[in-house]
Amino acid sequence: MSTPLVGKRILLIIGGGIAAYKGLDLIRRLRERGADVRAILTKAGEAFVTPLSVSALTGDKVYTDLFSLTDEAEMGHIEMSRDADLLVVAPATADLLAKMVQGLANDLASTTLLATDKRVLVAPAMNVRMWLHPATQRNIARLREDGVLFVGPNDGEMACGEYGPGRLAEPLEIVAAIEKALAGPTFIPLPGSVSADTRLLPALPLAGKHVLVTAGPTHEPIDPVRYIANRSSGKQGYAIAAAALAAGARVTLVSGPVALLPPPGVKLVPVQTAREMLEAVRTALPADIAIFAAAVADWRVADAGAQKIKKGAEGTPDFALVENPDILATIARDKARRPSLVVGFAAETEHVVEHAKAKLARKGCDLIVANDVSPESGVMGGDRNRVHLVSASGIETWPDMDKEAVARALVSRFGELASAVA
C-alpha cells in the first residue's frame, strides 16, 4: 500500500530528555510507511537512548560527532542537511530551540539545522515551567516567524510529577505532521538568493504584521463575589490568535476570563472587565490588524457592592446599569491610531445578517464576522462555527467548520485585505 511517506528522506534529530524513547517508536512508524530515516543523536540524547538502538531501527549509521574525520571529510553536516526532504527534531528541548533562534553551531545537531535549506518540523518536550517561561515563548514565536513548523507539545503529567503543556506529541501525531509538512513546499530560499527549485516557501501572509486579538467574555462585578457575564468560551478568538501567529504575525491577545491556555508565542494580556479590555487594547496599539472577537458585556452595575450583598428584609436589590465603553467603535473611529484593518464580531440569536449589517455601519469597522449563537446552534462554548462575512462589498456565508478551520480561513482573508489596504 502506497503512503505519502514512501521514498521520503527524513533526517531525525533526537534531543536529550526522557521523551527521547518515543523517537525510537517514531522511527519505526516512519519506516513502516516507507520513509528513509537517518538520525542525529545529541550528546544529551545519548543519556536516554543508545546509538545502537537508533541504528537498529533506522538501518543506517547514527551520527553524533561534528568532528568525525570520516564523515566530515565530505562535509557530512552539509550533505545531511541538504539531502533530506524534511528535518524533524523530536524531542526538541528548550536548549535546542534556543540554539536554533541564536544560530549557534557548536555540535552536529545545531550545525546541521543552521546549514539546512529544507523545512524543519520540531516537536517540543520539556518541563511545563520551562515551556511557559517567557524566554522559551519568545524563542517559539521567533522560530514560527522563521518558518519553522511545530507539532505539540501536549498537556499531561510530566516525568517530574507536574502537569501541563510540555509532553512530546505522540509518534503518530508527529507522523501526521510530517505528512502535512511534506505536502507543502520543501525548500527555504536564503534571503537575497535565487533558487532554481519551483517549490520555494511562500512568504507568510502576515509576516511583519502586528495583529491584535480580543477574546472571551468580560466579567462585570456586582459585588466581590458575583458578576455579569456571558457564555463565551474564547475558543474562536484563541484559534484566530494561533492562526495569525502561524501566518507570521506578532500577536497580542487581550483576553477576558477563559479556561484556555494561550497559544504558545502570543503575548497574552489578561483582563476582567470591559474598561480593562479597552485600556489594554489602547496600550497594545499601534497594530496593523485588530480583530475584536471578544463578547464584551454591554452593561455593568453602576455601583458595585464593596462587600457581598446579603439577603435581607429590604428585599431584592435594585441594580442600576450603565453602558460599557464600545471598544470596537472607539478603535475604529480613532483617526490617529486606527489599525489598517479593523474587524468586529456580531454574536446574534436572530436576524443575524441584518443585525451585522447595521453593526458594520454603526461601528465604523471594515468587516463584521457574524454568527448565530442561539442555544440550538451550539456555537457559544462549542467547537464549531458557521460565520457570515459582512462588508461594504457584500455578504459571504461560509459552511459549518471547526473553529480552528474558521480561524485559518479568516486569517487568510485578513491577510488579503491587509495587503489591499497597505
User: Which pLDDT band, with edges at 50, 70 and 90, does 70 fall under?
Assistant: low
Q: What is the pLDDT of residues 146-202, one digit of tens each?
A: 889 998 888 777 666 777 788 898 888 898 889 888 876 555 544 443 333 333 334
Tell me the angle at which helices 134-145 and 94-102 cross, rounded to the nearest 10 degrees.
Answer: 50
User: DSSP character for 285?
Assistant: -
Give start-end residues of each CATH 3.40.50.10300 domain in the chain: 210-307+316-421
Tell me the angle at which helices 235-246 and 403-421 cross, rounded to the nearest 10 degrees.
Answer: 50
Q: What is the pLDDT of residues 213-237, one digit of tens each?
A: 999 999 999 999 999 999 999 999 9
CA R_g for the chain: 25
Q: Provide, rounded to the nearest whole percent, the portion of the chain with pLDDT above 90.
A: 56
How much is the pLDDT for 17?
87
Judge residue 6's burial from the number of C-beta atoms within 10 Å of its C-beta, 0-12 exposed, 13-18 middle, 19 or more buried.
Answer: exposed
User: Which pLDDT band, with edges at 50, 70 and 90, does 77 fall under?
Assistant: low
Q: Which amino acid, residue 208? A: G
| CA proximity to 22, closest of 173, 171, 176 | 171
How much is the pLDDT for 232?
94
65 labeled part of a ligand binding site: no
Catalytic residue ranges = 160
Residue with cell 499601534: 286
326 labeled part of a ligand binding site: yes
Q: How far apart are CA 395 and CA 379, in angstroms?
A: 20
Q: What is the pLDDT of residues 303-338, one digit of tens each?
A: 998 999 988 867 888 899 999 999 999 999 999 999
How much is the pLDDT for 199?
36
Q: How far apart are CA 21 and CA 326, in angstroms?
A: 53
CATH superfamily assigned to domain 9-183: Flavin prenyltransferase-like (3.40.50.1950)
345 labeled part of a ligand binding site: yes
22 labeled part of a ligand binding site: no
Q: What is the pTM of this model?
A: 0.58
359 labeled part of a ligand binding site: yes
How much is the pLDDT for 73?
46
Parallel, antiparallel or unpaired: strands 401-402 and 384-385: antiparallel
3-state SS class at 95: helix
328 labeled part of a ligand binding site: yes
> Is the pLDDT score of 67 beyond 80?
no
User: Which pLDDT band, with edges at 50, 70 and 90, does 76 fall under?
Assistant: low
325 labeled part of a ligand binding site: yes
> Is the pLDDT score of 298 beyond 50?
yes
The CATH code that applies to domain 210-307+316-421 is 3.40.50.10300
- Cell numbers for 406, please give them: 474558521
| 341 or 132, which is more confident | 341
3-state SS class at 230: coil
**Average pLDDT in the 69-81 region?**
57
